[in-house]
Chains A and B, each alone.
Chain A
Amino acid sequence: MSPSDLRYAKTHEWVRVEGDECVVGLTRFAVDQLTDVTYIQLPKAGRKVSTGEGFGEIESVKAVSDIYAPVSGEVASVNEALNSDPGLVSRDPYGAGWLARIRVPGVPDLSGLMSAAEYEAQVSGSPH
């Protein structure tokens, strides 16, 4: 169910490497847990982020959750469409609901991230 061409953080972000940029989003599992997303706070382009750093927030009707950078680099752009339609992240988390593109100098370090199978194993063991 999780796309096999992506890499996953244990904090439920996904990463797709495209040239020298990493596209970052939230997993289906994460957005299903949140439901009713009302607002997504994303960093400004140009901000430097390090792996594991809180760089955004996703807010649902009831709860606020941090979004963590799955890779280190510089924010190249964010998905502006989420400002007017935060529900995109729930409807299409691996496509139109992407969050940000992070520019990574050199080869991105994905060693701390999981494969789709490993991530599936993590969330299937997580009661919901």
Chain B
Amino acid sequence: MARPLGGPVDRAPAGVNNGDMEGFSPSESAKPRQTPLTGWHVAHGARMVDFAGNMMPIQYSSILTEHHAVRKSAGMFDVSHMGRLLFRGNSALDWLDRLLTCRLRDMAEGQARYSLVCSEAGGVIDDVLVTRWADAWGLVVNASNHAAMLDWLGAHRPSGASLEDITQATAMMAVQGPDWREACPAFIGSIVDGLGNYRGRMLELGGLVWRVSRTGYTGEEGIEIVAPAQSATSLADSLLAAGVAPCGLGARDTLRLEAGMPLYGHELDSATDPFQAGLGRSVDMKKEFVGKKALISRMGDTTFPVRVGIQLEGRRAARQGDAVLDKSGKPIGKVTSGAFSPTLGHPVAMAYLDRRHARPGEDVSLSVRESMLEGTVCPLPFYKREQRG
């Protein structure tokens, strides 16, 4: 029992571990940043952890309780650790269009899209959410890639465009789960009234800007709110009063895993291209962007492993780095994320496998801490919410 209990704070669970921090230099030796909600989390009994340089809650009650709250009613997450950037000026669109893999030029005001950012070699530098707000283009980047993304954006900055980093001046909260709408303060609900998934709207209230969009990272319906930093705790208080369960990064990880969503540092890294990751729908090969040339040559190469889901028998979970073997015992890939799935009641994993073994139904073995577990390749996501209405 000494291993997980020895440190000054709990180690982050797999999925939010410090191995994801490579490339993020400013905070590595510095004191972790307090988000506008760090004090709120502590006051509400959260177990805290330094995640990519931010003091964040891992869990309040238990990961299982929080996970089920999101699937069955509603949960709230502080996601203020993620980087929030705004782009303005005549060439803001050109700037982003050259660096993001998804199509941007056809996006309507208020529309949001998931995108990858690739290096010249075609590897993924970050996965981001881009939104065409009424006053600017918005980008949400991973906390662990925040500094690297600022460098990358700066190196490709055209004239006639400016970047504003609003990460410190704002908080970001996600409200996720089937009851999100009932649980939201009325003015938040009115901002997103009538909006479908991947649509957002902004509102100026007393000189402060709120940006709310129908997005999330759990596989449930819900919203993400970029709020003025000074309004963050009162927002959290009103959500709590409405019965929304505070949730930590632990539940966020099991929820996104069930929903088949990649996590940078696990399913995505600079050696992996978007097609291997099964994210080709977020790549517009009809436009020009950094990394496209490399992707064209990589697309024809079948030796790159591809991302799959694996369902395991029993109760033991595979974890990042565990080897996947075929029935003859030959290594065919590696696990990138794994956990016991609270919704499905059995362990699940995402892995990168040799394409010849990546078909759903393929039986595989997993080498987990000196034991062999049995699993079956399956389609992603593991969990899909029931469509309502």
Report which A residues bind B (CB closer than 8 A). 10-13, 26, 30, 33-36, 38-39, 41, 57-68, 86, 126-128
Nearest-Cβ distance from residue A128 to partner chain B, whole angstroms: 7
What are the 5 closest A-B residue pairs judged by CB atoms, nearest first?
A62-B13, A12-B1, A39-B315, A11-B2, A38-B340
B3 within 8 A of A: yes
A12 to B1, CA, bound (A): 6
A65 to B59, CA, bound (A): 18
Say yes or no: B1 contacts A30, CB within 8 Å: yes
Which residue among A41, A60, A128 has the maximum number of chain B CB atoms within 10 Å of its CB?
A60
Say yes or no: B253 contacts A68, CB within 8 Å: no
B157 within 8 A of A: no
Report which B residues bind A (CB closer than 8 A). 1-5, 8-11, 13-15, 47, 59, 62-64, 67, 250, 253-254, 314-317, 319, 339-340, 342, 369, 371
Which residue among A11, A60, A63, A65 has the maximum number of chain B CB atoms within 10 Å of its CB?
A63
Say yes or no: B2 contacts A33, CB within 8 Å: no
Nearest-neighbor residue (CB-CB) of A13 within chain B:
B1
List residues of chain A with CB within 8 A of the CB of B317. 38-39, 59, 64
List residues of chain B with CB within 8 A of the CB of A10. 2
Say yes or no: B63 contacts A59, CB within 8 Å: no
List residues of chain B with CB within 8 A of the CB of A36. 62-64
Say yes or no: A12 contacts B5, CB within 8 Å: yes
A34 to B4, CA, bound (A): 9
Nearest-Cβ distance from residue B63 to partner chain A, whole angstroms: 5
Q: Given A11-B1, A38-B340, A86-B315, answer yes or no on A62-B64 (Cβ-Cβ < 8 Å).
A: no
Say yes or no: B339 contacts A61, CB within 8 Å: yes
Q: Given A35-B59, A39-B316, A41-B316, answer yes or no on A63-B4 (Cβ-Cβ < 8 Å).
A: yes
Say yes or no: B2 contacts A127, CB within 8 Å: no
Nearest-Cβ distance from residue B47 to partner chain A, whole angstroms: 7
List residues of chain A with CB within 8 A of the CB of B2. 10-12, 66, 68
Nearest-Cβ distance from residue B247 to partner chain A, whole angstroms: 13
Say yes or no: A62 contacts B15, CB within 8 Å: yes
Say yes or no: B1 contacts A66, CB within 8 Å: yes
Q: Given A33-B10, A38-B317, A128-B47, answer yes or no on A62-B253 (Cβ-Cβ < 8 Å).
A: yes
Nearest-neighbor residue (CB-CB) of B12 within chain A:
A62
Say yes or no: B250 contacts A61, CB within 8 Å: yes
Nearest-Cβ distance from residue B14 to partner chain A, whole angstroms: 7
